[in-house]
Amino acid sequence: MTDYTHHIADETLILMPERAAYWVRPRTLFVADTHFSENTVDADLARLSAALKRMEAQRLIVLGDLLYEPRRFDGVLTAFSVWRHKHHTLKINLVRSEADRQVSLPDAWDITEYDGPTPGPYFVLNHAPIQPMYGYALAGQVHPHVRGDNGVLNAVFWFKDRCGVLPAFGEQSGVVTEVAPDIDMYEISDGRVQGVML
């Protein structure tokens, strides 16, 4: 695994091939669009555990769309409950999307929920990309991908003047947004994160 260290808004983010971003100073892992579903939850949680362990993160922030089918998540319930018990000391925050607002999560999951955009003071967090009046936003929702040299669509981290967008974490990702190569875009390919060559 080869990470990429990115400096933004006077903070340091480590962009990870696991499709996560680690905020160094407060030891916090960001993921977006986990889309936990019955078919992929075990693999997704294993990858999440590995990312948390590799960075020794103390907090997890999910930037919306925790579940693939918020109204039908019985297939995820057991797997996530077992995972949460193993990570019982981990603080978890969810910045809710519209879909997340449709479900009441089990109390035992111990997830603190917020509606975005959050007020900062460091990063302004939201599910959908926004242009905040102050600060720098981090978001998900659009599942950005860029077409690699071999023609394959690869997930990317995408940073603009006032907002950065994380790739969808979950394997059960629906719509893929293909974006034009950009100077502040970092591609995930073959277990490494690297700047997109223009």
> Mean pLDDT per segment of 10 residues, for the chain of length 198 residues?
95 98 98 94 97 98 91 84 97 97 94 94 95 95 88 92 95 77 88 88
DSSP run (H or E) holding 75: helix 74-86
Looking at residue 71, what is its pLDDT? Answer: 67
Domains of the chain (ranges; CATH) run 4-195 (3.60.21)
pLDDT number for residue 176: 76
> Would you state the pLDDT for residue 198?
64
Res 24: pLDDT: 98
Distances (CA, A) of 180 to 34, 144, 197: 24, 10, 11
Nearest residue to 139 (alpha-carbon basis) of 150, 128, 152, 154: 128
Is residue 137 within 8 Å of 164, Cβ to Cβ?
yes
pLDDT attached to residue 160 = 92
Per-residue pLDDT at 118: 95
Global confidence as pTM:
0.95
